[in-house]
Amino acid sequence: MSLVRFQPEEPGKYMPDKVYLPMDPKQREDLRFAMETQFRYKFYNTTEFPFLQSIGVRHIIQGFKAPDGLGFIGILHLYWSPDESDIVYDNPRKFAPIGTWNGEWLDRPEEGIELAIQIQKSNPYDENKLIQAAAEYYQKMANKHVKKLVDDHLEKEEEEIPKLLN
């Protein structure tokens, strides 16, 4: 499962071929290092982080744009690799993690879209159908809840109407 939900019909249609690297390579690499370090720090400290690969999330795609007109920094693609890693943890959790999240940078937004489409096509299930099924389920639950609220309100009104004695 990927976290990307965008599916263009034609990848090049939405973004023309441009060079998105107006900054010099050293500056770009420094910004990428800083962005990846900060992103990984926040990512590793989330509650769900240790469990993502076990629920099927094996790819994270995040784009970065530089401030002050420096342009597009790139797209960071983190992907899960179940191989043994030589990472030493300062505060290990209750279990010893196996595997690691590797990263790569993409230079153009089109590359990120193409990667997301490729990841989505490689899944053995259709994410759009899963999303649709979940949405239908939650809509059905919401409708039941509203119906119950209306029924409760109507019952309360019936109880409040005083019966006239003739």
Beta bridge partners of residue 79, listed in sequence order: 59, 102
Share of the chain above pLDDT 90, in %: 31
**Of the ranges 29-38, 87-96, 122-131, which is most confident?**
29-38
More confident residue, 87 or 77: 77
The pLDDT of residue 126 is: 81
Instruction: Report the alpha-carbon distance of residue 32 to residue 76 in Å, rounded.
Output: 8
Whether 25 has a pLDDT exceeding 50, the answer reads yes
Confidence of residue 14 (pLDDT cuts 50, 70, 90): very low
Q: What is the DSSP string of the chain?
A: -BS-----SSHHHHS-------S-HHHHHHHHHHHHHHHHHHHHTSTTGGGTGGGT--EEEEEEEETTTTEEEEEEEEEEE-S------SS--SS---SEEEEEEESSHHHHHHHHHHHHHHSSS-HHHHHHHHHHHHHHHHHHHHHHHHHHHHHHHHHHSPPPP-
More confident residue, 66 or 59: 59
Determine contact, residues 104/61, Cβ cutoff 8 Å: no
More confident residue, 3 or 22: 22
- Mean pLDDT, rounded, for 129-154: 92
Q: What is the DSSP string of 87-98?
A: ---SS--SS---
Share of the chain above pLDDT 70, in %: 73
pTM of the model: 0.60
- Mean pLDDT, rounded, for 66-78: 83
Instruction: Report the alpha-carbon distance of residue 2 to residue 82 in Å, rounded.
Output: 17
Average pLDDT, the chain: 79
Would you kindly state where each structural domain of the chain is located, as residue ranges? Answer: 11-123, 125-166
Question: Taking the CB of residue 79, how many other CB atoms lie within 10 A of it?
Answer: 17
